[in-house]
Structure 1
């Protein structure tokens, strides 16, 4: 079953994570289909929706900022309405509070209890610890990591003006989605401008990139889960071993026809490089997130930032599953958020397949 809509229009994240408060612990959101991969909303985007509701709930305690979050994705989400239920785990008087978040879909009601126990499904679960990062205080000291090469921003620093006006400079270029029917399945990727190193990765097995929002809005604290789970289409090629990367980025061969025998080569079949076919082959894959952990290191300015540097590594890709370690820093090199994820490699058909109907709740 194809997604309901493969047309993309730019919807600012601040609008796409809007919610309505239903009661003291319950919020309703509408998962936007322009934040989908295939028929499924991006997991980080869904996380941003959930943390936005939790932030509003804990603002009353002057604890608006997520310090840590752990997300589990037991089932596919769908674009459309969802209900977020917040359960108090431990509410601290000043420093830290921990809550459990559940995102429900299916069988939603317009009044309390807001869900239908025999029909509604728990599709995302999360634990989050909240604080006020702007008033958090205590001992600070530099670590050895901070002076290591791994902690440095990728060089050279980009010409940000050239990236915006010309989609690149001498060292960085924007990753583009090629036109074609398959690209309509990747709406979530269109919400970002990804700028990757020209040529080979600066470090084998590491994807360094700069990102900014396609909407032109500045990136705020609420966007961090979505930032940590957003990657260009050729992510897997950067993470692969150098010798395999060349094969992954090279378009597959196709037979173009027979040469004229008059060229002295006996009328052999020519090989061509099918760039569109290579892109469609990649777009036939889906990388669903199974688990995502976040640790926020610093508070972004209230009005957000335009640019973030993202570094992605993977220790192992095996048997259709892989790990991702994500570091997000600002343009000055300050660490903003760390993330560790477990994801699967599956056919896009699993993403867009019709969902089996069930009268049993997903508990």
Structure 2
């Protein structure tokens, strides 16, 4: 049975990734419960915290921007304090630097070494390459992809003002969390706007996003963006015949039926929502490549396209593309994820719990 809903407070992303510098290579962050899926902070949010620490560290040599990052999540994270440690792999004074980043939780200390060796758990790991995207230069040329239909933004473009004031326009509508959505606090930090009717490309989810807090989206949020999806994402990725099963609420498929038939259809819809809310989609591996820097002041809107090639045996892949309102590619991402019961997410931890699964 899906967990019941919990209190959620709209915490600005900039506050949720605030760091305290402990020493030259160590930072402390408090993982915010309002960025959790169940009892576990969203993996992309955790990644954003890790890259924020790396960015602060490399700002001293003017390389504040992540170019690539590879994340692994060997243990379940939890809301509350965490320590982020940074190991220099290669410091390139002129162009690129590579770091090994570890996020630790459990038995943390108030002084060096900040963690308890052999007791504190490595909850998330990353290798990241940093640079300065605003000064990076070199040869550029168009590719065949840029002229292909796949490179075009989904049509029609939204009426952004209508999306903000009326939760939709003729082609796009805001994704609403059902009452049975439970402890999916992280989803509440974004407004996801999905196409009305069938997707233009089967198995592809196109959406526009903006922050619920109203703050503009900055570079620091990219790991969180590529790991944030609407409640019913699975229905858009499914084969067309399955999508009809997942996304056919009475309001869209109304025919001449008796009241009892309508009630049955309503119960079926609720059952689909309950079934979805009982599932957890933990990220095992996430790769991020940043193509260009967002403006320093951030942007209000981003277009996100999500595809999956196979969902099988409780495992699935995701490819994520992030673009701005002009269609410029901002970031690409690839995930390996699992489909598990939410009970695995919310199970009580023990002192020896080192596994996310």
Q: TM-score, normalised by structure 1?
A: 0.91
Q: Distance in 1 between matches of 2:6 and 2:175?
A: 20
Please show how residues 193-272 of structure 1 align to structure 2 within 5 Å. Answer: 193-250=191-248, 271-272=264-265
Please show how residues 130-169 of structure 1 align to structure 2 within 5 Å. Answer: 130-169=130-169
User: Following TM superposition, by how much is the alpha carbon of 1:356 offset from its aligned partner in structure 2, in angstroms?
Assistant: 2.7
Does 2:295 correspond to 1:301?
yes
Contact preservation (8 Å) 1:251, 1:277 = no
Q: 1:283 to 1:359 in 2, by over 3 A?
A: closer
User: Following TM superposition, by how much is the alpha carbon of 1:361 offset from its aligned partner in structure 2, in angstroms?
Assistant: 11
Which residue of 1 is the match for residue 255 of structure 2?
none
**Larger Cα-atom Rg:** 1
Which residue of 2 is the match for residue 331 of structure 1?
325
Task: Give the aligned length.
Answer: 345
Which residue of 2 is the match for residue 289 of structure 1?
283
Contact preservation (8 Å) 2:5, 2:181 = no
Contact preservation (8 Å) 2:71, 2:125 = yes
Q: 1:356 to 1:250 in 2, by over 3 A?
A: farther
Contact preservation (8 Å) 1:308, 1:328 = yes
Tell me the secondary structure at the aligned position of residue 99 of structure 2: strand
Any gaps of 5 or more consecutive residues in structure 1? 253-259, 261-266
Tell me the secondary structure at the aligned position of residue 142 of structure 1: coil
Q: 1:8 to 1:214 in 2, by over 3 A?
A: same
Contact preservation (8 Å) 2:3, 2:278 = no
Q: 1:224 to 1:146 in 2, by over 3 A?
A: same
User: Following TM superposition, by how much is the alpha carbon of 1:355 offset from its aligned partner in structure 2, in angstroms?
Assistant: 1.4
Contact preservation (8 Å) 1:120, 1:361 = no
Q: 1:3 to 1:49 in 2, by over 3 A?
A: farther
Q: Distance in 1 between matches of 2:13 and 2:47?
A: 12
Q: 1:193 to 1:360 in 2, by over 3 A?
A: closer
Q: Distance in 2 between matches of 1:118 and 1:359?
A: 12
Please show how residues 1-363 of structure 1 align to structure 2 within 5 Å. Answer: 6-179=6-179, 182-250=180-248, 271-274=264-267, 275-358=269-352
Q: 1:361 to 1:198 in 2, by over 3 A?
A: closer
Q: 1:114 to 1:15 in 2, by over 3 A?
A: same
Q: TM-score, normalised by structure 2?
A: 0.93
Q: CA RMSD in A?
A: 2.1
User: Following TM superposition, by how much is the alpha carbon of 1:357 offset from its aligned partner in structure 2, in angstroms?
Assistant: 2.3
Which residue of 2 is the match for residue 264 of structure 1?
none
Contact preservation (8 Å) 2:4, 2:183 = no
